[in-house]
Chains A and B, each alone.
Chain A
């Protein structure tokens, strides 16, 4: 049989069809779970509200250094859903802008950590037993030897306390957890027959890592990223709550909690808004992550 008999076009078409079919099945598995769907809709709603915060928030000016002493310490009402703070700013508007900062933080941190952690883990796992594995994994061990929050806090403290450095700190704290997970999965997969087969065919190491091994571990990686996004929010909120992250008047959720805690037992509703903001964004990511886990577990 000559190579002409193989219809490349047909194979590619079939492959595309299969891909579409797989996506359809994944979506079917995802939407079977009501909680996952709830998570997805909350996530989308929050994302839209955060992106268009200038139009969604009733008082977009209140996000910054706006002052209106006439309306300070207003309890929650229809006009001010979460009340107003010590400077007369609408807390609801500030929480929406806080969501935007939270999403920004997740976006930036994930887009740095996910590729870096994955690539390092792939390399360390594939070259298990070589010197490069030892360097990468011992470095990861060092960062894991400390509770994440303490590491992030101390990095923030050594750098200047602001929101950019908080992101740097979270990034530095987070990558080893990815690297370790990808490492353990890669080092398990590298002895699979299909990896041997492509190696025998002369495929280069980098291509094996990215074309053969990576697609097989992408599911757990994405699931972990979603679940960990909630965790990033928590750590980020903790950093700014302790005064080492974003500084007032930045409308960061953690900063707001610490700012409003001064008035705590008396004007307790002030912290309600930011805390609810943190809780709902964490909930959305958790539900979404559970849904994704279902999708990939079914494969």
Chain B
């Protein structure tokens, strides 16, 4: 039915999410322009800076031509943009390869870390939030409150160092670094170590990869989880005393059903945006934790590129990080609309 289809498209076009997605992509493009200009306008010769003072003039000249550094700025941006739409981000100085190839190699490790972190964060938030929300003033509630304060104050990299010290170096329960134990090798298909292990049918490798993932994910999840659980807890306490909950109870619905279905869902509405922003920010926060756990993720490439003033590499990392940040935020928006009927049916007016 073409008419239906058209109205559906119209609905998408009118939706806030679509507009936000387009706007964020445009912002990202604008940002790339700012970073690009900043990188090119800085005093000093980028080619000379990148290659070091001892590089022969001939090489510097070739690099300059490679980056179109001899041409006016708007033409440089045009070339760069043209390459971008062909999926090319330029040659990296760190690896002397296409930046997009480098990023494709390092990014899955970071994404894998982000995903497990998100899972831990979501489960932990719901478990601790509902537990302490059901008994305000109890020991669990008090413990969560203290933990939330500690969680805010201790940055993720400190958690990482702490967990690594206790569970890897002292107790030896978890491996301290790397993605997989030496000696285990699995063919790279997706770049996600756990998925690759499953594809190869090697269950031991899967468990091993998960084992390596656990500590860095926990370190990333802890601080944010504590805060989100607090938000969920106060929303639960507020919702549980509302009239509709009382109505359900007086009709004889079991407490658990009311609590976990009818009180939890509206409480999540205030938690999900915070959680979503935290999960989206993981792409940046993972940087430090990855360094500590020697994780071959985006940070390994990004930090090296930044320290070596590899302009193509920096702009590439910025763009990819921004893209993932934007996409995650859009997914969160979609989830919020699914959970919150007020937005779903309200048409999302301003």
Query: CB within 8 Å of B: which residues of A?
Result: 138, 141-151, 153-159, 161, 230, 234, 237-238, 241-244, 257, 261, 264-265, 268, 271, 275, 278-280, 282-283, 286
User: What chain A residues lie within 8 Å of B285 (beta carbons)?
Assistant: 147, 149
Whether B28 lies near A145 (C-beta < 8 A) is yes
Q: Which of A142, A150, A241 has a CB less than 8 Å from the CB of B284?
A: A150
Whether B161 lies near A264 (C-beta < 8 A) is yes
Known: A138-B27, A150-B283. Contact between A244 and B307, CB under 8 A? yes
Given contacts A145-B31, A244-B306, 11 further A-B contacts (CB under 8 A): A145-B27, A145-B322, A146-B325, A154-B317, A157-B309, A238-B287, A241-B291, A268-B165, A275-B154, A275-B158, A279-B158
CB of B207 within 8 Å of the partner chain: no
**Smallest beta-carbon distance B208→chain A, Å:** 21
User: What chain B residues lie within 8 Å of A145 (beta carbons)?
Assistant: 24, 27-28, 30-31, 322, 325-326
Q: Which of B23, B155, B165 has a CB less than 8 Å from the CB of A238?
A: B155
Q: Which of B155, B292, B299 has a CB less than 8 Å from the CB of A261?
A: B292
Count B interface residues, CB 8 Å: 47
**Smallest beta-carbon distance A65→chain B, Å:** 22
Whether B35 lies near A158 (C-beta < 8 A) is yes
Whether A141 lies near B23 (C-beta < 8 A) is yes
User: What chain B residues lie within 8 Å of A279 (beta carbons)?
Assistant: 153-155, 158
User: What chain B residues lie within 8 Å of A142 (beta carbons)?
Assistant: 27-28, 30-31, 34
Cα–Cα distance between A31 and B27 once the two chains are bound (Å): 44
Whether A150 lies near B155 (C-beta < 8 A) is no
Whether A150 lies near B153 (C-beta < 8 A) is no
**Smallest beta-carbon distance B324→chain A, Å:** 9
**Smallest beta-carbon distance B18→chain A, Å:** 16
Cα–Cα distance between A268 and B176 once the two chains are bound (Å): 14
Query: CB within 8 Å of A: which residues of B?
Result: 23-24, 27-28, 30-31, 34-35, 38-39, 42, 149, 152-155, 157-158, 161, 165, 169, 176, 280-281, 283-285, 287-288, 291-292, 299, 302-303, 305-307, 309, 311, 314-315, 317-318, 321-322, 325-326
Residue in A closest to B162 when the chains form the complex, CB atoms: A275
User: What chain A residues lie within 8 Å of B157 (beta carbons)?
Assistant: 238, 241, 257
Cα–Cα distance between A242 and B286 once the two chains are bound (Å): 12
**Smallest beta-carbon distance B102→chain A, Å:** 16
Known: A154-B317, A158-B39. Contact between A242 and B165, CB under 8 A? no
Known: A158-B35, A237-B155. Contact between A265 and B292, CB under 8 A? no
Whether A138 lies near B325 (C-beta < 8 A) is no
User: What chain B residues lie within 8 Å of A151 (beta carbons)?
Assistant: 31, 318
Residue in A closest to B324 when the chains form the complex, CB atoms: A147
Residue in A closest to B31 when the chains form the complex, CB atoms: A142
Max chain A Cβ within 10 angstroms of own Cβ: one of B31, B157, B281, B325: B157
**Smallest beta-carbon distance B297→chain A, Å:** 13
Whether B306 lies near A283 (C-beta < 8 A) is no
User: What chain A residues lie within 8 Å of B284 (beta carbons)?
Assistant: 147-150, 153
Cα–Cα distance between A243 and B309 once the two chains are bound (Å): 13
**Smallest beta-carbon distance B22→chain A, Å:** 12
Residue in B closest to A268 when the chains form the complex, CB atoms: B165
Cα–Cα distance between A230 and B153 once the two chains are bound (Å): 8
User: What chain B residues lie within 8 Å of A138 (beta carbons)?
Assistant: 27, 30
Whether B322 lies near A146 (C-beta < 8 A) is yes
User: What chain B residues lie within 8 Å of A244 (beta carbons)?
Assistant: 303, 306-307
Can you list 29 residue pairs at the A/B interface with Cβ under 8 Å? Answer: A141-B24, A144-B27, A145-B31, A147-B280, A147-B321, A147-B325, A149-B281, A150-B283, A150-B284, A150-B322, A153-B284, A153-B302, A154-B35, A154-B318, A155-B38, A159-B42, A230-B153, A238-B287, A238-B288, A241-B291, A242-B299, A242-B303, A242-B306, A244-B307, A257-B161, A261-B292, A265-B176, A278-B155, A279-B153
**Smallest beta-carbon distance B32→chain A, Å:** 9
Whether A243 lies near B303 (C-beta < 8 A) is yes
Residue in A closest to B313 when the chains form the complex, CB atoms: A157
Whether A149 lies near B287 (C-beta < 8 A) is yes
Whether A282 lies near B321 (C-beta < 8 A) is no
Whether A243 lies near B307 (C-beta < 8 A) is yes
Cα–Cα distance between A205 and B321 once the two chains are bound (Å): 40
User: What chain B residues lie within 8 Å of A158 (beta carbons)?
Assistant: 35, 38-39, 42, 309, 311, 314
Known: A145-B326, A154-B306. Contact between A283 and B153, CB under 8 A? yes
Whether A143 lies near B153 (C-beta < 8 A) is no
